[in-house]
Amino acid sequence: MTILGISAFYHDSAAALIEDGRIVAAAQEERFTRKKHDPGFPSNAIRYCLEYGGTALNKLDAIVFYDKPLLKFERLLETYYTFAPRGLRSFLTAMPVWMKDKLFLKRLIRDELKKLGYDPKKPVKLLFPEHHLSHAASAYYPSAFDKAAILTIDGVGEWATASIGLGEGASITILKELHFPHSLGLLYSAFTYFLGFRVNSGEYKLMGLAPYGDPRSPDVDRYVGLIKDKLIELKADGSVWLDQDYFDYATGLRMVHEKKWEALFRIPKRNAEDELKPEHCNLGLAIQRVTEDIVVNMAREARQLTGADNLVLAGGVALNCVANGKLQKSGVFRNIFIQPAAGDAGGALGAALAAYHIYFGKERIVDYKDDAMLGSYLGPTFSDLDVELMAKKYKSVYTRYDDFGKLSEETARLLANENVVGWVQGRMEFGPRALGGRSILGDPRSAEMQKKLNLKIKYRESFRPFAPSVLAEDCHEYFDYDGISPYMLLVHPVLESRRMPLPANYDSLSLRDKLYHLRSDLPSITHIDFSARIQTVHQNTNPRYWQLINAFKKRTGYGVIVNTSFNVRGEPIVNTPDDAYRCFMRTEMDYLVVGNYVFDKKKQPEWQEKDNWQEEFVLD
């Protein structure tokens, strides 16, 4: 049985293909269109999934959309009615889109599928599970657990903004839901907006900013108190109630009532690109702390309701790696699995899996050790011919290695000499993290690497941290964690033995001075609070990446390297060798390794294209 899952029309559109319950392929539309968070119909992603699976639309057993549009429309109408006369402008903006397209989504989907060769005379079943069921299915079914509590948390689906469920065998039972407008995801997005970052893409920046807050500052405690006293009410079961007098997302065109927030916190709303001040950092730390408390409380409620030892997580809030680390440390659950494509893109996969196991009633077979996500390497790959055609197109110069062992040793040598290396190997990752398939790599021992990567390669804010990729078997040698974290979704501390002492006046230093203080013997992956967003690299899921890090270890004694996504600010992660070469030439990257081919920047012809990435990609 072959099923196609689709997510579209909000953000991070994607497609996923499963066959007899096994994941075959999955990809986000943005990787093909080069439009970050592309919400459009995922035509390119669907075409890829079908080609990789060797099938066609009319050969499918079902096509599954990741939520119920009519239920979402009901929520919009009831919300506008409840808040009337507020929200008239928003209502007049939203309704034409719904009346033209979204209300007739089944027809719209079939029309888009026709463009891909779908024959309406041979109809395929079209299904619509609820949004949070798709999230729940995306986390539970690929996990290795026979029984698990399921926790999904995001902005909003149809009505639900969070859910607790139980997965057992092939069944999923939703036990409890939190409903709009009360939402942890929207609360976090409101602070993202107020602190000058873009909603639905800048939340991870807020998470990275939070550690720059001063934990001993009375302002942090004051901000936490204000959030809990004025903005939200925390319930004993982990649910939240948000005072809508302070928020504008339900019926307005902004996230918050800015004047009320400015009066409450006694700071003005920050605009994008404005200087980050201590009060911004402290407010970021406050909302991060509140978020962590809520996530842990929701998990406790899930444990109490299900009695399960295992937990699976999905939804956009499940990408908050710091909260995930705190949850893991809390010991509420014995084991935790987080869907690597936890946001809406993963909803495409969850929709397909939900249809297979729930609608069609198919058995669930767990014959794998850690999970069924195949390391999340589910996207397109490329051939040697693709690389050579790209090189011919740009008249580029390369060295080809037939022996991958020698290629790993040479790349390790380049990294050890503090070169920045673009690394493109095998299938592209599914989800927001680059995991060694489409990555930019550096030496974690370098005191200058973080600055170089942020300012000369990624062209982004200097405060942004970088993640370590570490040999799975060596993780405990560097971090206070001896488990696995293959999807870069857990934050844990760097070992005390690797840390450098802080100066007495550290808390009074500026953000920039704190940033460039040497904090450990792995300075470029040690965040300001001595934490790191860990990716454990496993020989069975990515043997090439594992071999490279192992070669770096043999040369330097360190089985860990810096890993960041292969893109510039505002650009989706690269997909093809062509995407990679263009990004390589537009930045101050030193080397590019694509498959078995190595490109040295100094040997490349002058970049002739007049386009500018800053004009092509909208800054996030």
Q: What is the pLDDT of residues 137-174, one digit of tens each?
A: 999 999 999 999 999 999 999 899 999 999 999 999 99
At residue 84, the 3 state secondary structure works out as coil
- Rounded to 10 degrees, the C-alpha dihedral 566/570/571/573 comes to 40
- Share the mean pLDDT of the chain: 92
Q: How far apart are CA 528 and CA 520, in angstroms?
A: 10
pLDDT in tens, 52-99: 999 999 999 999 999 988 777 677 777 765 766 666 566 666 666 656
Using the predicted structure, report yes or no on whether residue 611 has a pLDDT greater than 60.
no
Q: Give Cβ neighbours of residue 146 (< 8 Å, ≥ 6 apart).
A: 168, 169, 366
Question: Closest by alpha carbon to 350, among 486, 176, 201, 167?
Answer: 167
Q: How far apart are CA 471 and CA 484, in angstroms?
A: 10
Q: What is the pTM of this model?
A: 0.94
What pLDDT is recorded for position 465?
A: 78
Q: Is the peptide bond before 493 cis (omega within 30 degrees of 0)?
A: no
Tokens 């909302």, located at residue: 287
Mean pLDDT (whole number) for 364-389? 97
Mean pLDDT (whole number) for 202-226? 94
Mean pLDDT (whole number) for 352-360? 98
- Confidence band for 492, pLDDT divided at 50, 70 and 90: very high
Mean pLDDT (whole number) for 99-114? 81
Give me the phi and psi of 104, to 5 degrees please: -115, 50
pLDDT in tens, 496-531: 999 998 887 777 777 777 777 788 999 999 998 999
What pLDDT is recorded for position 569?
A: 86
Q: How far apart are CA 372 and CA 502, in angstroms?
A: 43
Q: How far apart are CA 390 and CA 580, in angstroms?
A: 10
Mean pLDDT (whole number) for 349-363? 98
Q: At 482, which amino acid appears?
A: D
Domains contained in the chain, CATH given: 1-131+343-372 (3.30.420.40), 143-338 (3.30.420.40), 384-616 (3.90.870.20)
Q: Give Cβ neighbours of residue 313 (< 8 Å, ≥ 6 apart).
A: 139, 151, 152, 153, 324, 336, 337, 338, 339, 342
Using the predicted structure, report yes or no on whether residue 179 has a pLDDT greater than 90.
yes
Q: Are strands 22-28 and 14-19 parallel, antiparallel or unpaired?
A: antiparallel
Q: How many CB atoms lie within 10 A of CB 358?
A: 17
Using the predicted structure, report yes or no on whether residue 224 has a pLDDT greater than 80.
yes
What pLDDT is recorded for position 89?
A: 62
Helices (H) and strands (E) in the chain, counts: 20, 21
Mean pLDDT (whole number) for 195-207? 92
- Confidence band for 262, pLDDT divided at 50, 70 and 90: very high
Q: Are strands 467-471 and 421-424 parallel, antiparallel or unpaired?
A: unpaired
Tokens 């295992």, located at residue: 310
- Confidence band for 38, pLDDT divided at 50, 70 and 90: very high
Using the predicted structure, report yes or no on whether residue 299 has a pLDDT greater than 60.
yes
Mean pLDDT (whole number) for 119-135? 96
Whether 595 contacts 387, CB under 8 Å: yes
Whether 44 contacts 385, CB under 8 Å: no
Alpha helices (H) along 463-538:
511-515
Which of these ranges, 64-73, 105-114, 403-412, 564-573, has the smallest mean pLDDT?
64-73
Which of these ranges, 221-225, 249-253, 297-301, 493-497, has the smallest mean pLDDT?
249-253
Mean pLDDT (whole number) for 173-189? 96
Using the predicted structure, report yes or no on whether residue 101 has a pLDDT greater than 70.
no
Instruction: Output Rg (C-alpha) for the chain, integer angstroms.
Output: 24
What pLDDT is recorded for position 618?
A: 66
Using the predicted structure, report yes or no on whether residue 423 has a pLDDT greater than 90.
yes
Mean pLDDT (whole number) for 478-501? 95
Ranked by mean pLDDT, the top range of 147-156, 206-215, 524-533, 605-614 is: 147-156
What pLDDT is recorded for position 517?
A: 77
